[in-house]
Copies of this chain bind each other. A is one copy, B any other.
Amino acid sequence: MTEKIRRRASSKGRTLDLIRSSGPISRVELAELTGLTQATISTVVRELLTDGVISETGRGESTGGKPRMRLEINPASRLGIGVHIGQDYITYIVADLAGTVVGRKRVDGPGDDSPVSVVARMTDDIESLIVGLDLDRHSLVGMGLAMPGPIDRIAGTVRGVPSLLGWTEFPIRRALATTTGLQVELDNDATAAAIGEYWLGATVGYGSYASVYMGSGIGSGIVVDGTIYHGLSANVGEIGHVTVDARGPLCPCGNFGCLELFAGPRAIMNKATDAVARGELDIPLTGKTSVDFAALGTAAARGDATASALIQESADYMASAIVSMVNLFDLPLIVLAGNAFSTTGSIYVRTITRVLAERAMVRDIHPIEVRVSVNGNDAAALGAATLVLQERLSPRSLRSVAP
């Protein structure tokens, strides 16, 4: 891309972002807020009107003469599909330019199936979603694919993900692009979830936050001043692989004493399963980690001492790793997302809030809030859907930032 084309794309994205966040808004106000010239704004607005992405509305205050035309977003004019390949579930979300969920579908996770057969199944799922919702294919800008890291965004692959070992080097992005005919963008599922939390409204009042996602593993996504933190290769926020015991056991990731080994649902369920076998705990076990962990949370909530101790142990380690993270990133908000918090959220919120207030370096400088996501199960897929919309419009930014 030449510098000029890149700049035009960036002006367009920034203008559209402002119309989305602040519309209805006039061309004059857009010029003032973006710092772009009136002529540039006119050109950019004309293109956006032609694209059908925005429309004119007469709702501006009259200044005596003819009422100022204002511009507003046309949310349904562009749609993105977001797909989250988790361990237990594959979630599909269709979202529009306003981040509104237009359609939604959840199916079984990949399990031990080969990537080729999972791609075949997903292609059918996506096709039936498009047909079922009667979507206009011309409004579909593409598909965001959220997967656990490490990911290789350039190659469009995952590499060495413990739950998806057979997928290493499989060209998942290219495969789905070929079978669906859609443009596909790959991102880290925890980063996608952080973006999703913004659209779900879980981050209201904060421009900077981390969303800590716990499914079968633990990851996090980081947003700073409204900008998604991507690092060098989008493999960021791997809080599940922050060491909580440097002399601890080897993790499948290759590191030692990782948080996941002490706090993750799989580790906790190993202990819970032993407790069940010893007759110290009475919960139904299905062998599906997320389902069983939810049952353990329910038992803890009704006061079972063994269940409470196990969840508390996980929360204590999680809080320790989050203090380390806050000591590195200096963030004011932690959002807890993912199905592992569905029945256990209050224990984690209480523990992490207390530990941050007691131990974080910045505890006397500013407060740190901890919240549970309102709909953490959908966050990664929704984030992936909006990401593909934004990737075209205003890369890496959640909202308009003045130049």
Measuring CB to CB, which residues of chain A are less than 8 angstroms from any residue of chain B?
3-4, 6-7, 10-11, 32-33, 35, 37, 149-152, 159-160, 208, 220, 222, 224, 229-239, 241-247, 253-257, 262, 316-317, 320-321, 323-325, 327-332, 358-366, 402-403
**A316 touching B246, Cβ below 8 Å:** yes
Q: List 19 A-B contacts (CB under 8 A).
A: A150-B364, A159-B364, A160-B364, A224-B231, A233-B330, A239-B328, A241-B324, A241-B327, A241-B361, A242-B328, A243-B321, A243-B324, A245-B247, A246-B262, A246-B321, A253-B359, A256-B359, A257-B320, A328-B329
Chain B neighbourhood of A6, CB < 8 A: 402
Chain B neighbourhood of A324, CB < 8 A: 241-243, 324
Could you tell me the distance in whole angstroms from the C-beta of A206 to the nearest C-beta in chain B? 9
Name the one of B160, B232, B247 contacting A330, with C-beta atoms under 8 angstroms. B232
How many Å lie between the Cα of A149 and that of B330 in the bound state? 12
Could you tell me the distance in whole angstroms from the C-beta of A18 to the nearest C-beta in chain B? 13
Name the one of B234, B246, B254, B403 contacting A363, with C-beta atoms under 8 angstroms. B254
How many Å lie between the Cα of A247 and that of B244 in the bound state? 9
Name the one of B7, B253, B330 contacting A235, with C-beta atoms under 8 angstroms. B330
**B365 touching A233, Cβ below 8 Å:** yes
**B362 touching A233, Cβ below 8 Å:** yes
Instruction: Give the residue name and chain of the B residue nearest to A154 (CB).
Output: B365
**B32 touching A235, Cβ below 8 Å:** no
Instruction: Give the residue name and chain of the B residue nearest to A355 (CB).
Output: B255
Instruction: Give the residue name and chain of the B residue nearest to A188 (CB).
Output: B330
**B232 touching A366, Cβ below 8 Å:** yes
Could you tell me the distance in whole angstroms from the C-beta of A231 to the nearest C-beta in chain B? 3
How many Å lie between the Cα of A331 and that of B220 in the bound state? 16
**B242 touching A327, Cβ below 8 Å:** yes
How many Å lie between the Cα of A102 and that of B152 in the bound state? 45
**B246 touching A246, Cβ below 8 Å:** no
How many Å lie between the Cα of A331 and that of B242 in the bound state? 15
Chain B neighbourhood of A237, CB < 8 A: 328
Q: 8 more A-B contacts (CB under 8 A) besides A149-B361, A231-B331, A253-B359?
A: A3-B402, A208-B231, A232-B331, A232-B332, A238-B361, A241-B324, A242-B328, A324-B324
Interface pairs A-B: 8 shortest CB-CB: A231-B330, A238-B327, A246-B320, A242-B324, A255-B359, A244-B246, A236-B330, A235-B362
Could you tell me the distance in whole angstroms from the C-beta of A244 to the nearest C-beta in chain B? 4
Could you tell me the distance in whole angstroms from the C-beta of A69 to the nearest C-beta in chain B? 22
